[in-house]
């Protein structure tokens, strides 16, 4: 039945490509999470009226974030080739896609983190200050836990955008389902391969969305 529907699909190739997409996405999410939270915290804390109020740092951070968000992803990969080559030692394969994926997604996530942090009740931060809390206590025990549902749903949105990015990266040599769909599917006119890749990408997207929603819901005690 499956062979009739997808005559040109080689199961093993498809499985490898799926794994590559999965790895790429997962590690990129991890990187995006770390850098996005750092950038988001910096944006939030240096904003006027906040704990580290600093107009200069805020301006620089906001500018960097805005510039990287403005660059189309496909161009960002090309721009980052030298950097990738230096960092990973190659510009081919799924590992080589990681720098561009993280640099592309982290600024986007940083803005979502900033929005999430802004939603934290100011009174709770004030109460923590009144209790004599240090800034790192306020960050790790108040700001991050209190904004956790927003941080998780933001990460879910970012993760899904990232899956889209991996497909784009795949087309220019990063492997994964995007690569398979383009090389074996589009270029050889085997559209069943394109279809199979699409279905798998959709499934991956659904899995991430499902996990994200579940986590966000479980953690929200409001």
Among 83, 145, 203, 207, the residue binding another protein under the rule CB under 8 A is 145
Q: Which is nearer to another protein, 148 or 160 (CB)?
A: 148
Q: Which is nearer to another protein, 89 or 123 (CB)?
A: 123
Instruction: Give the closest residue to 84 by CA, choosing from 69, 97, 74, 94.
Output: 97
Q: Which is nearer to another protein, 91 or 152 (CB)?
A: 152
DSSP string computed for 23-71: HHHHHHHHHHHHHHHHHHHHHHHTSTTSTT--HHHHHHHHHHHHHHHHS
Size of the site for another protein (CB under 8 A): 21
How far from 131 is each of 53, 98, 103, 118, CA to CA, in Å? 21, 42, 38, 21
Q: Rounded CA gap, 8 and 6, in Å? A: 6
Span from 20-28, 82-90, 94-102, 120-128 in contact with another protein (CB under 8 A): 120-128
How far from 193 is each of 18, 94, 186, 200, CA to CA, in Å? 13, 20, 8, 11
Q: Rounded CA gap, 16 and 145, in Å? A: 37
Among 67, 127, 207, 214, the residue binding another protein under the rule CB under 8 A is 127
Is 133 among the residues that bind another protein (CB under 8 A)? yes
Decide if 110 contacts 133 (C-beta within 8 A): no
Q: Which is nearer to another protein, 31 or 154 (CB)?
A: 154
Decide if 179 contacts 170 (C-beta within 8 A): yes
Is 221 among the residues that bind another protein (CB under 8 A)? yes
Q: Which is nearer to another protein, 49 or 82 (CB)?
A: 49
Among 55, 92, 141, 188, the residue binding another protein under the rule CB under 8 A is 141
Is 103 among the residues that bind another protein (CB under 8 A)? no
Tokens describing residue 125 = 């931060």
Is 146 among the residues that bind another protein (CB under 8 A)? yes
Provide the mask over 34-63, with x wherever binding to another protein is found by CB under 8 A and - wherever it is not. Answer: ------------------------------
Binding site for another protein (CB under 8 A): 121, 123-124, 126-134, 137, 141-142, 145-146, 148, 219, 221-222
């Amino acid at each position: 039945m499956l062979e009739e529907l997808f005559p040109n699909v080689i199961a093993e190739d498809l499985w490898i490509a799926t794994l590559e997409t999965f790895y790429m996405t997962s590690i990129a999410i991890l990187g995006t999470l770390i850098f996005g939270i750092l950038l988001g915290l910096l944006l939030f804390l240096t904003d006027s009226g906040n704990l580290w109020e600093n107009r200069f740092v805020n301006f620089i951070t906001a500018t960097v974030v805005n510039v990287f968000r403005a660059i189309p992803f496909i161009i960002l990969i090309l721009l980052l080739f030298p950097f990738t080559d230096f960092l990973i030692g190659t510009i081919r394969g799924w590992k080589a896609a990681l720098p561009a994926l993280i640099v592309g997604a982290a600024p986007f996530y940083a803005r979502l983190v900033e929005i999430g942090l802004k939603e934290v009740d100011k009174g709770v931060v004030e109460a923590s200050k009144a209790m004599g809390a240090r800034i790192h206590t306020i960050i790790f025990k108040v700001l991050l836990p209190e904004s956790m549902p927003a941080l998780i749903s933001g990460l879910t949105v970012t993760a899904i955008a990232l899956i889209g990015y991996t497909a784009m990266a795949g087309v220019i040599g990063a492997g994964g389902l995007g690569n398979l769909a383009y090389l074996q599917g589009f270029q050889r006119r085997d559209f069943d391969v394109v279809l199979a890749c699409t279905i798998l990408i959709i499934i991956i997207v659904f899995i991430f969305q499902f996990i994200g929603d579940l986590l966000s819901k479980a953690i929200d005690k409001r």
